[in-house]
């Protein structure tokens, strides 16, 4: 079933959000969470990356929220209406920031105006404002957004944009408070259920309950996040009682953890696709040896690399079954995913070798596959399996696995000819993945913001653009299906598998898993 939301002129009542956010009364103890990846910044507009956004969504709120099924619900806007290209949002009254100052429409205008001004953003938030032409504060609690064209995905995109305090985050720089200042806590003021206390890089991140929060107070007075990139260390900390909840326990440990009566394991399907991106721009390509050309520019080579992959074996042997082989960037039948690529391609070693020979590489070539180590479930192990499979067909592959912050820095500076990464389709529809990962790079327009392979296909671009201005769900789904078929038929990138999201926790803690894989502590509760 596709994740969709109603297209009516008015939104659901505020009671929807209140019901969703209702939590048990404050617990007597604090919560300690072991994170698999430390955020790269506290600036909520610096890097569109899950470790960052899950933290910012605890300190800040957006105009529109999303529930654990990725459905839009009222957030700081309690209602809205739309008339063609003009959206009018009625803001929730009596909301205060964590410093006690009132939230108004001017804070939203300031926030959206800041997005394109944040310098050196690895994955800019302009992705979510590409459809917006103008944002105006009509009065303190009324906001008007005019879009460039009809914008069917405006609500779900606005859900990705946390609102800052204009008063606290203003400054002499073009963007107001700089990323460096926000990282120190200066200007880091939101309306969310928690407020910032301290951040010691590599050690801990501490939040305190926000006494000014307009909604139901969260269960925990204080939350401490401890970054632990080593999965075995996270499990050891949980078993020792040093932490209350951990992200992504090792797949090999799941049977033991599930059998421990002192623990609870939560599993849920995710919309995160793990993929391999191939450089289709640089000449020569970094990391390629044995040829002066860039082999990945040849579709036959890209197809050969795909046919070399035994995705079922990766899921069974590397992921321990905690994944599903992928043939597209979003599981079928979610919105915009086509039936044509619902199943993962079957491996064909002989055809892969024949395609390489046909493309002029009878003896193959050598390549380096970049990978994070500790960002995605078993990421370095998956990369090693892919390297072995590519080597088998004649493309001698070595793996360069590194800490996630180093990996993303290198990826964003185009230092890889091929790399393993992941993308969480937070909107629940194909437009999100295609727009960010595969549209021709134009970050100012919110297109290709994470397209580090620099793939470009004007026909696919045009279909995605048409879909972005088509309100009719049936027509838009068909456009996105056609666009995704073009990309997959062109082997624009190679989907490997969809992750299954897993958390492990003490038996007196409960957290309902989310398909976007975020750990949002405001929804963790004491077990009943």
Average pLDDT over residues 355-370: 97
436 with 289, same domain: the answer is: yes
At 343, phi and psi to the nearest 5? -100, 150
**Taking the CB of residue 196, how many other CB atoms lie within 10 A of it?**
23
> What average pLDDT does the chain have?
91
Instruction: For residues 164 and 103, give the distance between their C-alpha atoms in angstroms, rounded to a whole number.
Output: 9
81 with 167, same domain: the answer is: yes
210 with 353, same domain: the answer is: no
End-to-end CA distance of the chain: give it in Å, rounded: 31
pLDDT tens by residue, 202-261:
999 999 999 999 999 999 999 999 999 999 999 999 999 999 999 999 988 999 999 999
Q: What percent of the chain has pLDDT over 90?
A: 82
Q: Is residue 253 part of a domain?
A: no
Cα angle 517-128-272, degrees, rounded to a multiple of 5: 25
Q: Is residue 255 part of a domain?
A: no
277 with 388, same domain: the answer is: yes
**What separation in angstroms does the CA of 499 have from each of 265, 268, 296, 323, 437?**
16, 9, 26, 5, 18
Residue that has been written with the tokens 């460096």 in this structure: 180
pLDDT at residue number 26: 41
What is the domain count for the chain? Answer: 2
Task: Cis check for the bond before 284: say yes or no (omega within 30 of 0).
Answer: yes
The secondary structure of residue 278, as a DSSP letter, is: E
pLDDT tens by residue, 384-395:
999 999 999 999
- Cβ-in-10-Å burial (0-12, 13-18, 19+) of 320 comes to middle
pLDDT at residue number 204: 97
415 with 330, same domain: the answer is: yes
How many CA atoms does the CB half-sphere of 174 hold within 13 Å? 5
Confidence of residue 445 (pLDDT cuts 50, 70, 90): confident
Q: Is residue 245 part of a domain?
A: no
Q: Is residue 415 part of a domain?
A: yes
Look at residue 514 and tell me whether its pLDDT is greater than 90: no
Confidence of residue 69 (pLDDT cuts 50, 70, 90): low
Q: Is residue 254 part of a domain?
A: no
224 with 286, same domain: the answer is: no
Query: Do 393 and 376 touch, CB atoms closer than 8 A?
Result: no
Residue 250: strand, helix, or coil: coil
- In this structure, what CATH number is given to the domain that contains residue 320? 3.10.105.10
Query: Do 504 and 238 touch, CB atoms closer than 8 A?
Result: yes
Residues near 260 by beta carbon (within 8 Å), at least 6 away in sequence: 239
The secondary structure of residue 504, as a DSSP letter, is: E
Average pLDDT over residues 444-455: 92
Confidence of residue 5 (pLDDT cuts 50, 70, 90): very low
pLDDT tens by residue, 300-339:
999 999 999 999 999 999 998 889 999 999 988 888 999 9
- In this structure, what CATH number is given to the domain that contains residue 109? 3.40.190.10
Q: Is residue 511 part of a domain?
A: no
pLDDT at residue number 14: 35
Q: Is residue 250 part of a domain?
A: no
Cα angle 238-241-243, degrees, rounded to a multiple of 5: 60
394 with 285, same domain: the answer is: yes
82 with 162, same domain: the answer is: yes
Nearest by Cα to 289 from 384, 361, 356, 382 = 361
pLDDT tens by residue, 382-436:
999 999 999 999 999 999 999 998 999 999 999 999 999 999 876 678 998 999 9
209 with 281, same domain: the answer is: no
Nearest by Cα to 326 from 308, 317, 314 = 314
156 with 216, same domain: the answer is: yes
- Please spell the DSSP secondary structure of 137-174, one letter per residue: EEETTEEEEEESS--TTHHHHHTT-PPPPHHHH--SBT
At 283, phi and psi to the nearest 5? -145, 105
Tokens of residue 80, six digits: 């809205």
225 with 344, same domain: the answer is: no
Q: Where are the extended beta strands (E) located within 201-262? A: 204-209, 222-227, 245-247
Look at residue 19 and tell me whether its pLDDT is greater than 80: no
Q: Is residue 479 part of a domain?
A: yes
Average pLDDT over residues 471-483: 94
Instruction: For residues 524 and 58, give the distance between their C-alpha atoms in angstroms, rounded to a whole number.
Output: 12
Look at residue 503 and tell me whether its pLDDT is greater than 90: yes
Q: Which domain holds residue 178?
A: 31-229
Instruction: For residues 507 and 128, give the distance between their C-alpha atoms in angstroms, rounded to a whole number.
Output: 38
198, 229, 260 — which closes off a domain? 229
pLDDT at residue number 68: 62
pLDDT tens by residue, 283-299:
999 999 999 999 999 99
291 with 224, same domain: the answer is: no
């Amino acid at each position: 079933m596709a994740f969709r939301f109603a297209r009516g002129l008015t939104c659901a009542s505020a009671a929807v959000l209140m019901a969703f956010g209702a939590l048990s009364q404050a617990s007597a103890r604090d919560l300690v969470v072991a994170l698999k990846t430390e955020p790269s910044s506290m600036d909520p507009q610096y890097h569109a990356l899950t470790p960052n956004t899950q933290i910012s969504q605890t300190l800040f709120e957006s105009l529109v929220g999303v529930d654990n099924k990725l459905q839009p619900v009222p957030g700081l806007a309690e209602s809205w209406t739309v008339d063609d290209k003009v959206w009018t949002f009625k803001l929730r009254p009596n909301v205060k920031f964590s410093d006690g100052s009132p939230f108004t429409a001017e804070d939203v205008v300031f926030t959206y105006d800041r997005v394109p001004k944040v310098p050196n953003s690895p994955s800019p938030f302009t992705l979510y404002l590409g459809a917006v032409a103008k944002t105006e504060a009509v009065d303190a609690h009324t906001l008007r957004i005019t879009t460039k064209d009809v914008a069917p995905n405006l609500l779900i995109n606005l859900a990705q944009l946390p609102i800052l305090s204009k008063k606290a985050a203003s400054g002499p720089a073009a963007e107001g408070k700089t990323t460096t200042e926000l990282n120190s806590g200066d200007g880091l003021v939101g309306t969310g259920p928690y407020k910032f206390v301290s951040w010691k890089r590599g050690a801990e991140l501490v939040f305190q309950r926000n006494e000014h929060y307009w909604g139901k107070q969260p269960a925990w007075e204080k939350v401490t996040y401890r970054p632990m990139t080593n999965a075995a260390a996270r499990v050891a900390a949980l078993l020792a009682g040093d932490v209350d909840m951990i992200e992504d326990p090792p797949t090999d440990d799941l049977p033991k953890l599930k059998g421990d009566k002192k623990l609870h394991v939560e599993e849920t399907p995710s919309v995160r696709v793990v993929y391999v991106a191939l450089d289709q721009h640089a000449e020569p390509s970094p990391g390629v040896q044995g040829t002066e050309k860039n082999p990945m520019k040849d579709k036959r080579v890209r197809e050969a690399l795909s046919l070399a992959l035994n995705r079922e074996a990766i899921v069974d042997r590397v992921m321990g079954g905690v994944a599903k082989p992928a043939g597209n960037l979003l599981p079928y039948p979610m919105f915009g995913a086509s039936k044509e690529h619902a199943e993962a391609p079957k491996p064909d070693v002989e055809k892969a070798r024949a395609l390489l020979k046909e493309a002029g590489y009878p003896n193959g070539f050598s390549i380096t596959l970049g990978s994070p180590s500790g960002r995605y479930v078993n990421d370095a192990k998956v990369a090693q399996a892919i390297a072995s499979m590519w080597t088998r067909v004649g493309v001698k592959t070595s793996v360069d696995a590194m800490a996630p912050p180093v990996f993303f820095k290198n990826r964003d500076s185009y230092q890889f000819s091929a790399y393993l990464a992941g993308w969480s389709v937070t909107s629940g529809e194909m437009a999100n993945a295609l727009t960010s990962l595969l549209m021709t790079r134009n970050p100012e327009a919110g297109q290709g913001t994470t397209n580090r392979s620099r793939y470009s296909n004007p026909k696919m671009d045009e279909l995605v653009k048409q879909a972005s201005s088509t309100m009719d769900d049936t027509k838009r789904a068909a456009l996105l299906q056609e666009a995704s078929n073009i990309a997959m038929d062109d082997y624009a990138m190679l989907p490997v598998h969809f992750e299954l999201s897993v958390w492990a926790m003490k038996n007196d803690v409960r957290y309902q898993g989310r398909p976007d894989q975020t750990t949002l502590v405001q929804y963790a509760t004491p077990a009943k």
